Amino acid sequence: MSYKLQVGEMKASYLTDREIWAHFNYIFSSKSKNSTTYKFVLIKSLLENLYNVNEKLELNYSVLFSSFSKIYWNLVIHHNLNQINMTDKKAEVQRILLKVQSKYQIPHTLVFDRLSIELQIEIINKVTKRCKINVMGAIYGDTGCTIYDFDNGKEQLRLNSTFYSFMQRFQRVLNYLTNYHLALFLEKFNEKGDITNLLLKVENVSKRSSLDQFYHVLSAFYSSKCFYCGKAIKKENAHVDHFIPWSFVQADQLWNLVIACSACNLSKSDKLANKLFLETVIDRNNTLIAIPEIRKREDMRVYTNTKLKDLYDYSVENGFTDVWMPKKIII
Ligand SMILES: [Zn+2]
């Protein structure tokens, strides 16, 4: 009964692409026990946190289950979607969230990042505790104990390096695949719920309602000029832009965010900025990590220049070949 395991050791050091595809095929098939959406949401959370691992490919539960809790909250509370294959029952994590919602009388309109930090932490702690029992061992068991090892005491998992490289190379298609299967599950078991635009809801379930908190950090030391075109910008026209598009990373790390004018932000959209800008972002990030309070941030602690370069190259490898340049650059 691997789903109840407290510690799981890695039983293979090398996996071929074919073996890893076979594992994913199994997880998404009816052969795997998927009575709830847990496995899909765990894979989605792993994909969101691919670049939050340290140099040993370790990932803390605090970041992993922060994504998991956010996705679950937005599905269960914001979109009112059932997460289990029985209409008269509720998944454990679903029950936890509904209890919190009722205790604090939270309206369903509130998305996760609009909740107070204290409440977010309370939810993440409760969800982590539950997922240690139900979730960590389930995918581990489904994949023959090969894609990661985990330690519920240390609250950490470590990815198999060949699996990690696979996730980087196929990140985009894995995201589509996971969203598709999650939406399919939700469509099947939410006859009474609102399933209009379901795939769109699932695709956007991780999106923040606002990037203001990042603007505050970046604007504190950043000249009020657009990162791309150099045009002077007023606060009301300043946009926080994902240097590597959000549609690829599905995450908001400070080291991937820049301040841009609205014209650049809108014309760039989800295209990849010209590689010329990569060195400038790296220089900017080196300035950022020199500031002690910023270096302590969860997203900056594991940042390296190589990581950003890799992310750039992997976004090209994943099909982001439409390269963008601003029309005019003011020097
Ligand atoms: Zn601009």
Q: Which tokens sit at 138?
A: 């389930």
Token pair, residue 7, equals: 């510690």
Q: Which two tokens stand for residue 279?
A: 């060195």
259 CA distance to ligand 1 middle (Å): 9
Please give the distance, rounded to the nearest whole angstrom, from the Cα atom of residue 210 to the centre of ligand 1.
Answer: 20
Tokens of 199: 């795939």
Ligand 1 geometric centre to CA of 273 (Å): 12
Count Cβ atoms within 10 A of the Cβ of residue 287 and give its class: 0-12 exposed, 13-18 middle, 19 or more buried.
exposed
Determine the distance separating the centroid of ligand 1 and the alpha carbon of 102, expressed in angstroms.
45
Hey, is 63 helix, strand or coil? helix
Spans of all domains in the chain: 2-203, 212-324
Q: How far is the CA of 137 from the centre of ligand 1 (A)?
A: 47
265 CA from centroid of ligand 1 (Å): 7
List 150's β-bridge partners, or say none: 8, 157
Residue found under tokens 């900056």:
300
Other CB atoms within 10 A of residue 160 CB? 23
Distance of alpha carbon 321 from alpha carbon 298, whole angstroms: 30
pLDDT at residue 34 in the model: 86
- AA identity, residue 116: S
Task: Tell me the β-bridge partners of 260.
Answer: 239
Long-range contacts of residues 85-94, Cβ cutoff 8 Å, at least 24 apart: 85/34, 85/35, 85/36, 85/185, 85/188, 85/189, 86/35, 86/189, 87/189, 87/191, 87/192, 91/36, 91/37, 91/38, 92/130, 92/134, 93/38, 93/127, 93/130, 93/131, 93/134
pLDDT of residue 4: 67
Q: Ligand 1 mean position to 274 CA, how many Å?
A: 14
pLDDT at 1: 46
- Give exposure, 128-143, as e/b (b: 16+ Cβ within 10 Å): bebbbeebbbbbbbbb
For 50, 71, 148, 289, 325, the CA distances from 302, given in Å and listed in that order, are 11, 23, 19, 11, 29
What the block records as the tokens of 82 is 């059932």
Q: Looking at the DSSP assignment, which residues form a beta bridge with residue 238?
A: 261
Mean pLDDT by 10 residues, the chain (331 residues): 74 93 94 92 97 96 97 97 91 97 97 97 97 90 93 96 98 97 94 86 94 91 87 92 96 96 95 97 96 94 96 98 92 70
Distances (CA, A) of 186 to 35, 74, 177, 193, 200: 11, 13, 14, 9, 12
59: left (phi over 0), alpha (psi -120 to 50) or beta: beta
Tell how far the Cα of 116 is from the centroid of ligand 1, in angstroms.
33
* Cα 113 to ligand 1 centroid, rounded to whole Å: 28
CA 268 / ligand 1 centre spacing (Å)? 10
CA of 270 to the centre of ligand 1 (A): 15
